[in-house]
Structure 1
Amino acid sequence: MDETIANFQRWFTEIAVNWNNCERAGQKLLATILGNSPVAHAMCCEMGNVQLVNALNIAADLESEGTAKAIRRFCESFERLRAYRNFVIHGLIEIPRKDHHMGHGVTTLFTESGKGSFKIGTQNVLDGDLRAVAEWLGAFTLLAEGTALAIQNDEPSPSLDKFPLPARMAKNSRNHPLLERPPQSSPA
């Protein structure tokens, strides 16, 4: 198998697995805040991502300053990483290739969105970008797990202040060609 394709598959898989772990860690964190009962866990494991972040942000208001900060940091990171995860996992993927000028593996992702209007987009993603998303997901999973343990043991919450938040995702998109309006002729 080509090394570029193997690297893409590795990071794609790590993003998918790390996302599932991060999502579950957030659910466990909320269940811990809600008392760690079987009912709390049953309720939280069925929550969607938007509901989970909303509930965690509200719960942060009820916690100590350090714990609240860790919860809010997790939520902000979770939202940013969700955009990256969705972009990578749901994008239509061109076969990864080696960029011989830059020496990196490059994958082109094609996306479509119906939010507001029908838009299409393409974006080149480097192997390093995929690796960074997988690593961010792993780090913020540990933050959620560590915060849940700190709450259980009545200890200070961990801090990832030195671990930078991922930048907000910028998508390269435009209106779908079917929505492009032909130039209007001006009256003579």
Structure 2
Amino acid sequence: MFALVLGLSWLVLTPLCVWMLFGRDRGGTARVIAALTLVGLQTGTVLIGIAEEHQEHGQATHIAARATPSPSAPPTPSPRARPCATRALSPSSVRLSRRETGLDGMTVYWAASPDECGTASVALHPDGRRLQIWLREGAAHHKGARILPVKVAGGLASLELRLSPPLRPRSQYVAVDARTGHRIPERRGA
């Protein structure tokens, strides 16, 4: 709401301040007031930008910091001695683990490649009922991403992401690939 008021203030006050600064027969007091008004508008704009950036970064980092690797999936070392190549992964499906207390974990699936890396980085950012997921093979790329072990079975690679504490209970969470904005289909059953 404050951003809307600030935007409208820019639209209304900027022409008035420019007229007061550069108009004929204006005294020094009017010019100082106009300059201070423009400085105040610019300061407010910068502060809102910093606050929004900090809020978005804080939410993604907070959720990623709460994510813990599954105890049933020990880290699998890569059979290769050299480090894995970093590449963006496209999730094909996701299985959400729901309890009475809320969403406490998920398993993310994607098509496995012949030289699949033993780890992948994942970051989760809940936005209302949307769960935005960033997934990359190899080293972490997104701020707040966690590196988790990858399991490969039947041509599908997967990783398990546990959330502690769980996200609040909602009937319909929708997983979304944060890179593309496309919905990730939910896999049902065991």
Instruction: Specify which structure has the bigger relative contact order, considering alpha-carbon pairs within 8 angstroms and separated by 6 or more residues.
Output: 1
Q: TM-score, normalised by structure 1?
A: 0.25
Structure with bigger gyration radius: 2
When you count strand as a share of all residues, which structure comes out higher?
Answer: 2
When you count helix as a share of all residues, which structure comes out higher?
Answer: 1
